[in-house]
Structure 1
Amino acid sequence: MDYIYVKGAREHNLKNIDVKIPKNKLVVISGLSGSGKSTLAMDTIYAEGQRRYLESVSSYARMFLGELKKPDVEHIEGLSPAIAIEQKSVSHNPRSTVGTVTEIYDYMRVLFARIGKPFCPKCKIPVEKSTIDEIIDKVYKEFDENSRIYIFSPIAKEKKGEFKKEIAQMRKNGYKRIEIDGEIFDLEDISSLRKSYRHTINLLIDRLKLKKENYERLYEAIELSLKESDGFVEIRELNNEKVIKSRTYSEKLVCPHCGFSFPEITPKLFSFNSPYGACEECHGLGFKYEFEPTYMLDPDKNIYNGVVKIGKDSYFIKSLERVILHYNDDPQKKIKELKPETQDALLYGTKDKINFEYITSNGIYTFKKQFEGLYNMYERRYNSTESEEMKLYYQNEFMSMKTCQACEGKRLKIEPLNIKINEKNIQEISDMPIEKAKEFFENITLSKFEKMVVGELLTEIIKRLGFLIDVGLGYISLSRTANTLSGGESQRVRLATQIGSGLTGVTYVLDEPTIGLHPRDNERLINTLKKLKDLGNTVLIVEHDEEVIKSSDYIIDLGPGAGINGGNIVYSGWVRNLLKNPKNSLTGQYITGKKRIEIIKYNTKRVDKNISLILYGASHNNLKNIDVEFPLGKFIAITGVSGSGKSSLIMDTLYPALIKELRNARVKPGYYKKIEGLENIDNVISIDQSPIGRTPRSNPATYTGVFDLIRDLFAATKESRMKGFKKGRFSFNVKGGRCEACRGNGYLKIEMQFLPDVYVTCDVCKGKRYNKETLSVKYREKSIADILDMSVDEALNFFQNIPRIYNILNLLNDVGLGYIKLGQPATTLSGGEAQRIKLTSELRKRATGKTIYFLDEPTTGLHFEDVKKLIEVLHRLVEKGNTVIIIEHNLDVIKNADYIIDLGTEGGEKGGYIIAQGSVEDIINANTYTGQYLKKLIK
């Protein structure tokens, strides 16, 4: 069968559609946001592929894996095993890195175990172990034939002691001579050494001429030396009693000079997830949590204004008061105004005993004792608690993450860090940008034997690094922690891993792999997707990018609208045919240029403020000590290729610096020298893609505040007034109106012990969240549950005569969210949807004209038509006098910016510079990568 046939798909908003998908082709599913793309790709095709796979495993295995619900589809024919490559974070575990997720680090561990050369960390010399035969071969190679050699057994190096027993044993074993501190003595003349002195002792085993006929004698001498010194032998060549050459050999991995020893070199020695190789101080994390004194005592408060976050009882405060009085200081003063010795005592305790009072109903008790100090008290409690919840509390409230001093953040013990290939240890290579790491491995010089041992291993490492570069990730390092990757980066890491696995006959489902990619990097990504297809796989992509759509073989365009207006097939067929005749396909009209996003002419009343915010000396990550000017009251786009430093500049430096300066927030911005222009702003808001709530109780209606107004409406009905129902009756978060069987959740959570929890619809309320009495109250024949089940578009029509509600819903519609349900659980919303709901909430607020909004790739998940709406909304924020700073790759958004700051020239080490800034015309004239693509678009 050459096609996957989907018949009668009705999941979510799909309208009983039939579709055929050609196998072993690159297939794009496109359409407006909410038109049903992810429902078809993820919730129908992928879900059914997973379900069938689970059905194919044994019933015993299914006991542990559970069963998946069958998607609402009549049947799917020709479906192969399915793998989804989504935008979710690869792992939240701080131990997971790009290297471990892609398995490249595992290959590197084997490589280092096989051909890595250990070096003494103290003496900086190679440490080798050899068999007796190898030692003899080296002696014959490294010393001249017929030379006079002495064979010594190293007994002690710079050690104190008399060595009485050792010397007696040497005599007993028949040895005649010994070298002590550089001088040779007859053993008969020595009985003991001076105890308080350090001594270097070498036992003379034999002396001979290096000839082939003396092979057996040399073998015996070396064997004796290894036995006497526990694995060492020193060979010296003498000429006229003068040492002209000396070599030390060992059958163990021990430094011959200082005695530093290496354990057996195996792959697990290089694992920071194994006790064998992990730094003993940080247990392989590379960082430690340490208490911050300023988090315990707020310098701007006194002890009475809640400066201490623990022990608010009067006794605890009285204790602090007594400490301050003991140092003749004033407890009413702010902490920063107290004497240094007083501050020190509050934090680290007192040496002297202090008078304390303990007041009870029975009287006042006085006693003397040392004060422990807040720092010591917190540390003691943290170390003694076994509760993970308490440890997390201390970490969040009083501690900060600091680089481990023992391993300097390298995660490994000293031994694996001193095993090197071409003068680099495994961590140094892991810290390189992937492009540099690939260069390193390609240029490794290997002996013939080493090539035989690791040839295929090295090829696999280079190949997998190449896959990461092909998906536009050449700028990140293998040591990058997986939980710091963006959604797009995580997805491309997984994509590269899948190509590396070499699977065939699989249906791959990808969700917007171009997220976070500059147009320059798209071509590489497209070639990677084609490689995946050429391996014999069907590649199904949910995508809005024009180049990806044009490069695909087949397209399924859903629509015509979103939500209830979507779920139909607008076009299904070969891309080449769509390009010839886009018909009714909105996607087709955009990619053929029949429709396009124009440069929006904004309100001419927009005021040019002629004031700026200036950040000086930004040097975080790869930023090159740059000074950046941000004109206020503008729509500013931050552009540049992937890894050029955009997020480092905006989200890691500027945003945290502003909230620290304006709100005294407890954050650590990336390094910068100073900021000018703070007096011109009063608020900063990051509208990111994090969820609008962590539980299903949060939804668009509650987040935007429209639910409060709807509850007011229900409470004002005649029926509510008759029954005495107030506004609170219509909340599913409190007792009274909610269904108590499920506590207003609409579902019940069934804990399955060692299996994942199962969620089932509540039998009592049938998922409606409210009890019968509450549901009996109707507004225009709709219950409160019916309202929550409406889409924004439906609710707009329903509430068109209620301006306060209509206006909020209209804002949601303006940002392209007309299809989502008012009561849709926050946990089911995508990052892009959550971000646009937050935008709506901001548009509702009264403008001060002094707010800076930060957005990181808000076009994620948006169709061309939705992008157009988003641009209009962002300009509305600016027209209120605010500043919008946006990190973006979408050229239609960039061309609509008032001001562009372009970073580059490349990603990683070659990035971090401002290569162009100014208007769209200025960027085009600068001829940067961004400028070149803008020129193509606008011409």
Structure 2
Amino acid sequence: RLKDEALCVKIDNLHISEVTEKSISDAAKWFNDLEKTLDKRQLKIAEHILKEINERLKFLLNVGLDYLTLSRESSTLSGGEAQRIRLASQIGSGLTGVLYVLDEPSIGLHQKDNVKLISALKRLRDLGNTVIVVEHDTETMENADHIIDLGPEAGSKGGEVIAQGTIKEITANKESITGKYLSNKFRIDVPKKRRLAKNGRFLEITGASGNNLDNVNLKIPLGSLTCVTGVSGSGKSTLVLQTLYNALNLALNNNKSRKIPKPFKGFKGTELVDKIIDIDQSPIGRTPRSNPATYTGAFGPIRDWFTALPESKSRGYKPGRFSFNVKGGRCEACEGDGVITYEMHFLPDVYIQCDECKGTRYNRETLEIKFKDKSIADVLNMTVDEGCEYFENISNIKSKLLTLKKVGLGYIKIGQQATTLSGGEAQRIKLAKELSKRSTGRTMYILDEPTTGLHQHDIKKLLEILHTFVALGNSVVVIEHNLDVIKTADYIVDMGPEGGVKGGKIIAEGKPEEIVKIKESYTGKFLKPLLN
């Protein structure tokens, strides 16, 4: 990227581009050895600069990023890598008396990297800082000095501090669900037997070589739950999302999104799959108008039901009357948004509740139509659990709401604005939508770290759904670091051995019991105690 003039300046016979091409571990060694090659005058000039450089490289080594090259573009980093670079820069600032708040720092980290992350957080603490971590990871909890457990459940049934104190006090607390999982009173069981590939058929991708992949051949057994594991930066997302998903998306879904898959030589077995679906954590809608009811398709039948009531028939109302997206039944002051948006230049938008309808989204006439004493606005304000009871005799609405309840979202409101849902919630709403469709038994679902933001109790529910998909004959591929998910998988593809340039190979594949026997596999090492 630099002009020839700039590249003429060399230290120890290397110009700046050659130095930044080095990996962090090589660069650290090179800068350390410089003292021997520089003369006295040069050393005097370089003294402070070298001290800074060496310290910064040391922090990156401490969080386990020795394999990255210094010139690597930040857009190509995996989620776990980017998170640790930000952490390294904080430790590097050497401040004391700071309060750090981290939201789930273990996302995208393999157990092996997690150990490094925890020691980095302890180093922040030992410098005299306070560290607050929002976390579901058991290992982080075991290392904490003080735990605060919120609950007892989610949504309107939560919001209280259930237990706080050391890990012993949490496990002794009878109210705390977290405590029960920590003390193994509740646990996620290992399945008695592993499913084999349906009729011995596999979907194969050969010679994948995108990013850091090293001519990899991936085999995925159909009709089972496959887990793709490996340390952070070993090429899991590249292989599964950017190669397998994009290639099949073009071939099967006839998708015009034109996301070009990373290079690979060929695939076989695609005739056994009829569609491929990636269920990720992107929001289900970016406007306050989309909500769980509209997304899962429950809102249509609810409106039809209100239209069929005698009162609305006598007034001649059509289903459009009960929609907040078209003129007629909605409040015109806020155009059915329930809130009025003020755009603040250079600041995030401000939402203020509408004065006319007080946030109900509908005008007075529409709200006069009631079923069991509740108007359509009251229905949108119910939680899914309440909705299931309220519509218990109306099967087409109840079945849609039940799928939301099954994925553990009984606590969200039926009309909750999509902008206020967390990533994990959005992902589970998508799962619910898939559950409510009729299954062909030949679909492949891909999930990238679905346990992000989930408590073990929720992971249990999530696994039940994934195994439901598989029981119907579908194939599920999960990229995951969470050992509870990995131990229930039928088939594991473990990538590694390390991250970045030292990764990109498949080092082990087979049932969890077989992975444990392979020495090179870090995943096997951490799995072993859980299977016994």
Deviation per residue, 1:53-107 (Å, 9 max, x gap):
xxxxxxxxxxxxxxxxxxxxxxxxxxxxxxxxxxxxxxxxxxxxxxxxxxxxxxx
Cα offset, 1:594, TM superposition:
2.3
Q: What SS class does the counterpart of residue 895 from structure 1 fall into?
A: helix
- Rounded to whole Å, the distance in 2 between the matches of 1:483 and 1:922 is 36
2:370 touches 2:376 (CA, 8 Å); kept in 1?
A: yes
Q: 1:449 to 1:930 in 2, by over 3 A?
A: same
Aligned partner of 1:875 in structure 2 is 467
Aligned partner of 1:627 in structure 2 is 217
Aligned partner of 1:727 in structure 2 is 319
**1:815 corresponds to which of 407, 411, 427:** 407
**1:659 corresponds to which of 232, 249, 265:** 249
Does residue 566 (structure 1) correspond to residue 158 (structure 2)? The answer is yes
Cα offset, 1:453, TM superposition:
2.2
- Rounded to whole Å, the distance in 2 between the matches of 1:795 and 1:813 is 10
**Which one has the bigger helix percentage?**
2
Aligned partner of 2:50 in structure 1 is 458
- Rounded to whole Å, the distance in 2 between the matches of 1:422 and 1:799 is 77
1:570 touches 1:585 (CA, 8 Å); kept in 2?
A: yes
Aligned partner of 1:929 in structure 2 is 522
**1:510 corresponds to which of 102, 105, 114:** 102
2:190 touches 2:531 (CA, 8 Å); kept in 1?
A: no
Q: What residue identity is the alignment partner of 2:183?
A: T
Does residue 859 (structure 1) correspond to residue 451 (structure 2)? The answer is yes
- Rounded to whole Å, the distance in 2 between the matches of 1:786 and 1:537 is 47
Identity, % of aligned positions: 57
Query: In the TM superposition, what are the counterparts of 1:26-41 in structure 2 within 5 Å?
Result: none
Q: What residue identity is the alignment partner of 1:873?
A: I
Deviation per residue, 1:323-342 (Å, 9 max, x gap):
xxxxxxxxxxxxxxxxxxxx
Aligned partner of 1:695 in structure 2 is 287
- Rounded to whole Å, the distance in 1 between the matches of 2:385 and 2:296 is 16
Higher relative contact order (CA 8 A, sep 6+): 2
**1:894 corresponds to which of 477, 480, 486:** 486
Query: In the TM superposition, what are the counterparts of 1:643-658 in structure 2 within 5 Å?
Result: 643-658=233-248
Q: 1:416 to 1:711 in 2, by over 3 A?
A: farther
Cα offset, 1:521, TM superposition:
1.2
Q: What SS class does the counterpart of residue 450 from structure 2 fall into?
A: coil
Q: Which segment is superposed worse, 659-668 or 680-689?
A: 659-668
Q: What SS class does the counterpart of residue 685 from structure 1 fall into?
A: strand
- Rounded to whole Å, the distance in 2 between the matches of 1:856 and 1:888 is 7
- Rounded to whole Å, the distance in 2 between the matches of 1:770 and 1:456 is 67
Deviation per residue, 1:870-899 (Å, 9 max, x gap):
111001111121111110001110111111
- Rounded to whole Å, the distance in 1 between the matches of 2:493 and 2:429 is 27
Q: What residue identity is the alignment partner of 1:761?
A: Q
Q: What SS class does the counterpart of residue 926 from structure 1 fall into?
A: coil
Q: What residue identity is the alignment partner of 1:821?
A: K
Deviation per residue, 1:845-865 (Å, 9 max, x gap):
111222111110000001111
Aligned partner of 1:396 in structure 2 is none
Cα offset, 1:752, TM superposition:
3.5
Deviation per residue, 1:414-459 (Å, 9 max, x gap):
5445544445444454454444443443343433333322333333
Aligned partner of 2:183 in structure 1 is 592
Q: 1:797 to 1:441 in 2, by over 3 A?
A: farther
Does residue 678 (structure 1) correspond to residue 270 (structure 2)? The answer is yes
Aligned partner of 1:609 in structure 2 is 199
**Which one has the bigger strand percentage?**
1
Cα offset, 1:664, TM superposition:
5.7
Aligned partner of 2:373 in structure 1 is 781
Aligned partner of 2:296 in structure 1 is 704
Query: In the TM superposition, what are the counterparts of 1:201-220 in structure 2 within 5 Å?
Result: none
- Rounded to whole Å, the distance in 1 between the matches of 2:292 and 2:194 is 30
Q: What residue identity is the alignment partner of 2:263?
A: Y
Aligned partner of 2:117 in structure 1 is 525
Does residue 742 (structure 1) correspond to residue 325 (structure 2)? The answer is no
Q: What residue identity is the alignment partner of 2:146?
A: Y
Q: What SS class does the counterpart of residue 343 from structure 2 fall into?
A: strand
Query: TM-score, normalised on structure 2?
Result: 0.93
- Rounded to whole Å, the distance in 2 between the matches of 1:460 and 1:838 is 48
1:602 touches 1:875 (CA, 8 Å); kept in 2?
A: no
1:517 touches 1:889 (CA, 8 Å); kept in 2?
A: yes
Give ranges in structure 1 of 5+ residues lacking alignment: 1-409
- Rounded to whole Å, the distance in 1 between the matches of 2:299 and 2:185 is 41
- Rounded to whole Å, the distance in 2 between the matches of 1:833 and 1:424 is 51
Report the aligned-residue RMSD.
2.3
1:507 touches 1:539 (CA, 8 Å); kept in 2?
A: yes
1:603 touches 1:879 (CA, 8 Å); kept in 2?
A: no
Q: 1:598 to 1:756 in 2, by over 3 A?
A: closer
Cα offset, 1:925, TM superposition:
1.3
Equivalent pairs, count: 527
Q: 1:839 to 1:426 in 2, by over 3 A?
A: farther
Deviation per residue, 1:489-539 (Å, 9 max, x gap):
443332222222223222221111001111111111111111121222221
Q: Which segment is superposed worse, 501-510 or 851-860?
A: 501-510
Q: What SS class does the counterpart of residue 326 from structure 2 fall into?
A: coil
2:442 touches 2:475 (CA, 8 Å); kept in 1?
A: yes
